[in-house]
Amino acid sequence: MLRSLRSIVIAAAGLMLSTSAFAQIKVGVVNLDRLIREAPAALSAQKRLQQEFQPREKELASMSDKIKAAQDNLAKNGLTMSESARQTRERELVELNRDLQRKQQAFQEDLTQRRNEALSGLIEQANRVVRQVAQAEKYDVIFQEAVYWSPSIDLTEKIMKMLVEQPGQK
């Protein structure tokens, strides 16, 4: 009985101490996903990537269309072809499909790498701005990931405005 009473007193004291300590902590949250989607620097980087990779994407689409047309042609005319000609066309189609898949995989890897490079610069810049805000406004902690946060502690809009004001600083 004495033990449980002591535990309750210790828990209550801890709760009172923790609530008074938390009342003095200044907390903020930045939605990094939103920054990456909506920041002008992110939008311009996305546009540059699209322009850079659009020719390769069109080439892959054209190659895919040619393969599809060849497959349709083989399906339609395969019965009238000789066995050796049909097998040759099937092998050619298999090789073309493999080549297309290799090129698509290389395209995706290159696109992912370039996107990560572009976004890492933006994330570094956003982190610098977050640190500046934290130091200038005396924040104890600023989170970039949270399940829920009140709009009153959301600093995303402020950080986005500051990114626009200082776009080239590193």
Rounded Cα gap, residues 64 and 170, in angstroms:
42
- Report yes or no: 22 and 136 within 8 Å, Cβ to Cβ: no
Judged by average pLDDT, the poorest of 26-30, 47-51, 75-79 is 75-79
Quote the pTM value. Answer: 0.65
pLDDT at 111: 94
CB atoms within 10 A of CB 127: 15
CATH number of 23-165: 3.30.910.20
Instruction: Write the DSSP symbol of residue 149.
Output: -
Nearest to 27 by CA among 112, 161, 137, 168: 137
Rounded Cα gap, residues 53 and 111, in angstroms:
7
The overall average pLDDT reported for the chain is: 84
Rounded Cα gap, residues 69 and 65, in angstroms:
6
Q: Which helix (H) or strand (E) holds 19?
A: helix 2-23
Residues in the chain: 170
Looking at per-residue confidence, does 122 or 78 come out higher? Answer: 122
Residue 17 has pLDDT above 80, yes or no: no
Residue 9 has pLDDT above 70, yes or no: no
59-109 pLDDT, tens digit each: 999 999 999 999 998 888 878 888 888 899 999 999 999 999 999 999 999
Map out the domains of the chain as residue ranges: 23-165
130-157 pLDDT, tens digit each: 999 999 999 999 998 888 898 999 999 9
Q: Angle formed by the axes of helices 156-165 and 83-136, to 10°?
A: 100
pLDDT at 5: 42
Judged by average pLDDT, the poorest of 23-27, 48-52, 105-109 is 23-27
Nearest to 32 by CA among 139, 125, 150: 125
pLDDT at 121: 87
Rounded Cα gap, residues 158 and 152, in angstroms:
12
